Chain A
Amino acid sequence: MKRVYIAVAVVAVLAWIAIGLLVAKGPQPEIVVPAESLFKVGPLHVTNTLLTAWCVMLFLAIFTFLGTRSLKLLPSGFQNFIEGVVSFLLDQVTDIAGERNGRRFFMVVGTFFLFIIVSNWGGLLPFFNAIGKTEDVGHEIFAQLASDNPHKLVLTKDGTYDDGHKFAGAKTDKSGGVVLTKSGAKAIDFEVRKGDTPAEALDRYVVFLAENFAGFKPAHSLEEPGPADPADVKAAFTLLGTVDAPGTAAKAPRLTTEAPSEAGEHALKSAALGQSFGGVSFAESQKLTLIVPFFRGVYSDVNNTLALGICSFIIVEFWGFQTLGFGYLKKFLNFSSPINAFVGLLELLSEFIRIISFAFRLFGNIFAGEVLVLMLTFLMPFLFVDIIYGLELFVGFIQAAVFALLTLVFAVMAVEHHGEEEHHGDEASAEAHHPSGTAQAH
């Protein structure tokens, strides 16, 4: 009997995986490290991570407001939960920092914890990285190549690109508007290489388009170094112009010769074809676009983790000065002996290195988790992804706890007395020495 059960279980699991691969396969992930900009307000690009951060804040504000609106002495239900969370945090903090300092540090540490954990767990919701607006990469590449001052490429004075850039996209049937990522969509990348001139890049783009949209087989792969083979470019251009039978709906993109309409752009002359082009037009059902998700894990963006690290730094230093006054600087500027001076220097450096380690610990964990989930939805939807989701829940909690606790520990270290002449360390003497500092604390 047991064997039968095992056999049935194995078959069920395999069937489940097979169903997943057939119906729920994610698109080939386009891993974009910087957060994608959704719209712009003044100098601020509102990226999807920033939007998500605002949503998390709104959620926390509403959730806690509703939860604490009518508190009762005998708690029940929702209030139990909220009180449980708060008293769990408070207990942890007072365990480490002591009763008095614990109360003082609690709000900041708790905010770090709640902000990070809600962001991390929220980032696992299904609509994250799945619903977004599309960005028309096909047109954008040409516009960047034709632009006098492209913002994604660096054009040097001698007319070559100083730095390569990979334009990521996927073949989709429409661009613009809100879309859901398509199951099994294939990612295609076009790379502008360092040292390319715009004309050379355009040649490669022509071959690239023919290869991906018209089934063109180049004699020399685009992966090869150096400019594209002129024969390939010519063949590709001819194919793009002739693959669609006249009268039928167009499928392949075409290069157009009209002058570009955008300001700051000029017609682009191809090196191999010796012809100028003003734009590229894509057929209605065949477009090269990149889906920019509306929501993305808040801490899969270095800006946000770095900002939290800076907040932690600012607050810890503030507490240090508040408690010890300028005596706080003694830790860093200690010239009683060369060794102490060196140690002080290291201490000072470590204060700043903390910001970096805070930022990259959180970013690395969350970004890697996000990539892992995206990759696995593409490779093995169902089952394996579930396991990774469990892991991600754990990682999300651990990272929040680590961030909050490290901030707490640094804060405790910062408000501690040190140095030879006042080696008390206990609270009473801290108060006695700095009545003004501790008075502000309350």
Chain B
Amino acid sequence: MDKAVEALGINLPQLIAQVANFFVLLVILRFTLYKPILKMLDERRQKIAEGLNAAETARAEASQAQANIQAQLDAARKDGQDIVANAQTIAQRIQTEAREQSARDREAALERARSEIQMERDRAIADLRGQFADITVTAAERVIRQSLDRQAHQRIIDETLAESSFNGN
């Protein structure tokens, strides 16, 4: 064993020195390599996660906005359709009203015309009746004044009629 140890050159001080070397290097690398790099890697991972989250949020927001816009568009279209429909209804009503009004007007005019005609006729009839009474009275006067026979009667009436302006008009 001793021979082997000597042949390989194993000695305690160097062994201890090398063990110490390892731990010194471990401490050095901890501060110059592992800590800063791990910190940086973690930081970057976190940043990326945040970025992805933000992107996700943005995408959700965008789709939300899209949906909003779509909903608004739909509402606007519906409003428009309603307005148009309303307008059509109103137009229809106006048209109907106008038509009814004109019908009523025409009816009224007709009625007025008819009543005027009636009045005109009544007045004409009354006129006629008056004139006819006058003529009758005149004819009666004449008949009474003259002695009457059948032929004389007829001649008087014919004369009276001929004298009156009532000549079948």
Contact = CB atoms under 8 A, between A and B. Distances in A.
Interface of A: 33-35, 42-45, 47, 50, 53-54, 57, 60-61, 64-65, 67-68, 71, 73, 75, 82-83, 86-87, 90, 106-108, 110-111, 114-115, 163, 301-304, 306-308, 310-311
Interface string B96-132: 0000000000000000000000000000000000000
A86 to B, nearest CB: 4
Contact of A90 (B8, B24, B32, B38): B38
B162 interface: no
Contact of A68 (B6, B22, B32, B47): B32
Given A50-B17, A301-B9, A301-B14, 19 more contacts: A45-B11, A45-B13, A47-B9, A50-B14, A61-B28, A64-B29, A64-B32, A65-B32, A71-B40, A75-B40, A82-B33, A86-B37, A107-B26, A110-B33, A110-B34, A303-B9, A303-B14, A307-B17, A311-B23
Nearest to A54: B21
Contacts of A73: 40, 43-44, 47
Given A107-B26, A303-B14, A307-B19, A33 B9 contact: yes
A60 B10 CA distance: 26
B85 to A, nearest CB: 60
Nearest to B14: A303
B52 to A, nearest CB: 15
Given A60-B25, A68-B37, A107-B34, A308 B9 contact: no
Contacts of A42: 13
Interface in B1-57: 3, 6-11, 13-19, 21-26, 28-30, 32-34, 36-38, 40-41, 43-44, 47
A303 B10 contact: yes
Given A106-B34, A308-B22, A60 B29 contact: yes
- By size class, the interface of chain B is 20 to 34
Nearest to B13: A44
Given A82-B37, A307-B18, A57 B25 contact: yes
5 contacts: A68-B36, A68-B37, A307-B15, A310-B15, A310-B19
A107 B25 CA distance: 11
A54 B6 CA distance: 24
A138 B9 CA distance: 22
A23 B23 CA distance: 44
B13 A60 contact: no
Contacts of B3: 163
B22 to A, nearest CB: 5
A306 B40 contact: no
Contacts of B33: 64, 67-68, 82, 86, 110
A310 B22 CA distance: 10
